[in-house]
Structure 1
Amino acid sequence: MLNLRGMKRVCIVGGGTAGWFAALRLRQIFSESVEVVVISAPEIPIVGVGEGGVINLLDLLHKLQIDLPAFIQHTGSTLKLGFRYEQWNTGKKDDNFYHLFADTSSKEMWEDNGFYPFLSLLLNNQIDINCYMKALELSERRADTGEVLRLLMAGDSNFAASLHFDTFRVGKYLKSIALSRGITHIEEKVQDFNLHPETGHVSSIQLAEREVDCNFVIDASGFSRILIGKKYNIKWKSFSDSLIMNRALPFHLPHEGEIELVTRATALSSGWVWQIPLQERIGAGYVFNDQFLSDDQALGEVESWLGKEINPANIIKFEAGYFEKVWVNNVVAIGLASGFVEPLEATSIGQMITQLETLANFIVHSHGVISKQTIDYFNHQNGQYWNGLGDFIRMHYDTDRADTPFWKNMKQVPMSSAYQELRECWQHRTPRLIDFSSYSMSGTLMFGVPNWLAVGVGVGLIKPEVTAAELVTLPDDKKQTLAKNLHELKVKSDSK
């Protein structure tokens, strides 16, 4: 049992995006008698290469009572309507597809026994399943942020959104809000953690100049993973056999024309390049596997692709996977401190937000007295969520492309048994909500049916013919609704 009643201080180790979001959310759920402290090393200003979120980012901003237009203004963020994938199937320039964020509450997105008939109808007719969304047209003409923001704020759009952002600027802005809400910031490097000899709980944090007592700790130390990884030495579950990317070459690009509303992911010979549009620049990077490409070769390929030289930042090395336990004693790891897959689909910020919200719910619903069973359940659900993200990312590489050694090798790279089973099911029908029940965290999915369908169709895994059986069995009234939806779409398309 973990009893947080009467505690005096919660410490968040790490002053990045995850750390400040955690501080703000925990400030909401703990009483004013509990001091919320963020401990971070002295800041070193950096020019970030861009990060993106998924739709739960805007949900968190709303919950934290952070004004969206003000957030965009102060952080240099841009709106994000989804992803554009280029060259994933053939390697040619005309090869692209979208994964846009659908609003599942829109009139077209009615559900029937766990699937979305209108999406199945579009696929059956070999129509782009994104075409009904205003987001597609906005993305292709690179609409003005103000126009898109007005549509979102009006609440009657048929698409959802997230943000592209610079993590350093977001951290600074969240810090200013946190300080205004009574959160304490200690800017010193952590030297060690003192553990209670009987319970193993972190009782205090040793800094260079002082020792800080604590009752509850959030490990938001990013890739450093100084607490769950290094102090507790929790077992790491690697995805490296199925998600083989292990390096990233980050760089910046200037804008050419209007700012885009999507993250571009362009497949090259041995991986893919992200392009994340920020207000002042584009943050970019080549994600690759070092068995197929050296760092110098990666740089050369990017410069050849761009037709110009770049000034890259330091190579980022990583291994896809997660810690099997992220809640240990009175410590919870969130964000990069808990695991990582790769930048594809912007899962890091989305995972952190789900972890944080689940943690907040567990604490509140337990009234501060948390059973071991609850902590074990949190860890189990966290693992499910990571496995779901791993399988979703793996699907992106499940294409017919085979023009380079890397893409030929991807045909032999293992898949999880869960994903292999789903692939077999999708030879007969489209994805259903029930398919992803074992990927949820406390009932929450980062990616649901529309997301898996968009990518599955985009890489050629899910075929139009699998929709026939599920559409023909719909009752007549629902078939009539589908016919009406399709007619309205065609009228709208003809009027453009």
Structure 2
Amino acid sequence: MVNSIRQVVVIGGGTAGWMAAAVLAQQLAPNQCTVTLVESAEIGTVGVGEATIPPIMQFNRLLGIDEDDLIQATGGTYKLGIEFRDWGAIGDAYFHPFGHYGADLNGIPFHLHWLCNRPGSLGDYSLVAQAAYARRFVRTSDDPKHVHSRMAYALHFDAVRYAKFLSDHAIANGATRIEGRIVDAVRDERGHVSAVRLADGRSVAGDLFIDCSGFRGLLIEEALQTGYVDWSHWLPMDRAVAVPSVPVSAPDPFTRSTAGRAGWRWRIPLQHRVGNGHVYCSRYISDDEATAELLAGLDGEALAEPRQLRFTTGRRAAFWNGNVVALGLAAGFVEPLESTSIHLVQRGIVTLMSLFPDGGFDAATTTEYNRLMTREFEAVRDFIILHYHLTRRDDSLLWNHVRTMDVPDTLKARMELFAAHGRLMLDPHELFREPSWTAVLLGQGLWPRRPDPIAAAQDDVRRAETLWRMKDLIGRGVSAMPSHATFLNHPSRKDTSR
């Protein structure tokens, strides 16, 4: 009989480590196994992953986290989507909203109807986009007949504070934290990691290890030499510089991404500060120039010295190797253009829990985990590449490169299909759905050559009337919302939309 997993050891804290520890402790500790997290105060965390996407709400609900408590503890704000500036061409702007555009008609996706006549802006038919630009917010209504039931949102939060919030939750559920710097990994006769040694001579044994040690990949790479799949030929950004700034106005309920000559800058509004960063390619701009561009674009005074990060976009050749599962930056890195970093941690944890091993670590389980996570990473990769490749910019070496480069066949086929009739054929498992692809494809200028034949055959007069009613309902729904700032100041307004 194979032994059960009795000791799970998480290597590294930060957002990834404490997300893993919180779920493992709640689901497994203390009856099934112990959960121990090892981290060192000497080693800082990246801590710039401050923007999320809607699945984070499911994760927090899984842990039983009260949304108001989380917002207060992390200086959080609400996020309704991302505004993109200067991506398709300099001077262009579009909004990628969460949730849906309009409603499907006769089983035909809404955007295919809209493309037949293009009445107004596509964003006119997104409750979330209209709320974002009106700086209004309300939580999703439980009443499916209420327009506010169409709300979809995520969070902005201080990632360091979020990790601390989760650490308190995990420890309250039985997880143990050990302070110490890891200097070595001990391996058994199977090649599995059996323990890690700390600088002070202590040893921490485990049956299953979760590597959240950041880009270093202390176990998955340094100990097990798993290998790395480099995607920098498609995503050439290799550095970032980040700095917080003083807020000069009420926080917007959306993230902003502004493309520059050699990369792009993010702006993430929190209650107590604004998170800012510049992701760039060092082949086309120096670190000093990139920092200067970031500082010049701040709305308010910088609150700290700019912090530099270096990375190679890609993923581990295997996310699960032996008895080590890598999460977060140890698993791979897809730049934070669509705020997917924390989501990929979440997917890794959820997938691990659905395939939780016993001490035998059978090959079928690890193979399936690696297949699912590879699929997840590659789907996100294609969506991010789309933003770069689908541009009309020719003002710099970077944009000339990404506009003319070859892209993965999966992405190329999707763009060609959309260019014909506006159709999107997505796999059910994909993170980004039709509204997201439509927002970026149209927002950056890929217009279908012809309308969808089935949509075009529908009654134009009836369609126009229906779309007008949708637009009117959305306008009235937005007008009924409080401002984002008001909602943040009165978090008990849970029933505002009902």
Same fold (TM over 0.5): yes
What's 2:129 paired with? 136
The CA deviation at 1:163 is 1.0
* 1:298-329 residue CA offsets vs partner (Å, 9 max, x unmatched): 23333444598856422211110001101111
Alpha-carbon contact 2:246-2:301 (below 8 Å) kept: no
Question: How far, CA to CA, are the matches of 2:19 and 2:424 in structure 1?
Answer: 32
* 1:382-405 residue CA offsets vs partner (Å, 9 max, x unmatched): 112211111110100111111223
What's 2:483 paired with? none
SS at match of 2:194: strand
SS at match of 2:191: coil
The CA deviation at 1:124 is 3.2
The CA deviation at 1:424 is 1.6
What's 2:366 paired with? 375
Structure 1 residues 304, 35: CA separation in 2 closer, same or farther (over 3 Å shift)? closer
1:10 to 8, 11, 15: 8
Question: How far, CA to CA, are the matches of 1:214 and 1:15 in structure 2?
Answer: 17
What's 2:249 paired with? 257
2:384 pairs with 1:384: no
Question: How far, CA to CA, are the matches of 2:61 and 2:105 in structure 1?
Answer: 25
Question: How far, CA to CA, are the matches of 2:343 and 2:172 in structure 1?
Answer: 25
Amino acid at match of 1:420: K
SS at match of 1:36: strand
Question: How far, CA to CA, are the matches of 1:481 and 1:25 in structure 2?
Answer: 50
Question: How far, CA to CA, are the matches of 1:272 and 1:101 in structure 2?
Answer: 21
Question: How far, CA to CA, are the matches of 1:485 and 1:19 in structure 2?
Answer: 48
What's 1:325 paired with? 318
The CA deviation at 1:425 is 1.5
* 1:101-158 residue CA offsets vs partner (Å, 9 max, x unmatched): 1159xx825794xxx6212222333343332232222211222xxx524x46777431
What's 1:440 paired with? none
Structure 1 residues 354, 482: CA separation in 2 closer, same or farther (over 3 Å shift)? farther
Gaps of 5+ in 2: 480-498
What's 1:88 paired with? 87
Amino acid at match of 1:354: R
Structure 1 residues 284, 195: CA separation in 2 closer, same or farther (over 3 Å shift)? same
What's 2:22 paired with? 24
SS at match of 2:435: helix
The CA deviation at 1:84 is 0.3
Alpha-carbon contact 1:124-1:465 (below 8 Å) kept: no
Alpha-carbon contact 1:82-1:99 (below 8 Å) kept: yes
Question: How far, CA to CA, are the matches of 1:296 and 1:238 in structure 2?
Answer: 26
Alpha-carbon contact 1:37-1:183 (below 8 Å) kept: yes
SS at match of 1:130: helix
Question: How far, CA to CA, are the matches of 2:129 and 2:440 in structure 1?
Answer: 15
SS at match of 1:228: helix
Structure 1 vs Structure 2: percent identity of aligned residues? 31
* 1:311-369 residue CA offsets vs partner (Å, 9 max, x unmatched): 64222111100011011111111121100011100111111111111111122xx7887
Question: How far, CA to CA, are the matches of 1:103 and 1:74 in structure 2?
Answer: 30
Q: Across the two proteins, how many residue pairs are aligned to each other? A: 469
TM-score where L is the length of structure 1:
0.87
2:442 pairs with 1:452: no
What's 1:117 paired with? 109
SS at match of 2:407: coil
* 1:164-208 residue CA offsets vs partner (Å, 9 max, x unmatched): 1121111111111111111111111112111112x1111112123
Question: How far, CA to CA, are the matches of 1:262 and 1:494 in structure 2?
Answer: 19
Question: How far, CA to CA, are the matches of 1:214 and 1:47 in structure 2?
Answer: 26
SS at match of 2:251: coil
What's 2:283 paired with? 291
What's 1:395 paired with? 386
Question: How far, CA to CA, are the matches of 2:408 and 2:116 in structure 1?
Answer: 28
Structure 1 residues 207, 466: CA separation in 2 closer, same or farther (over 3 Å shift)? farther
Question: How far, CA to CA, are the matches of 1:307 and 1:182 in structure 2?
Answer: 43
The CA deviation at 1:252 is 2.0
Question: How far, CA to CA, are the matches of 2:413 and 2:149 in structure 1?
Answer: 35
Supply the RMSD in Å over aligned alpha carbons: 2.8
1:469 to 436, 453, 459: 453
Question: How far, CA to CA, are the matches of 2:135 and 2:469 in structure 1?
Answer: 24
TM-score where L is the length of structure 2:
0.87
2:237 pairs with 1:248: no
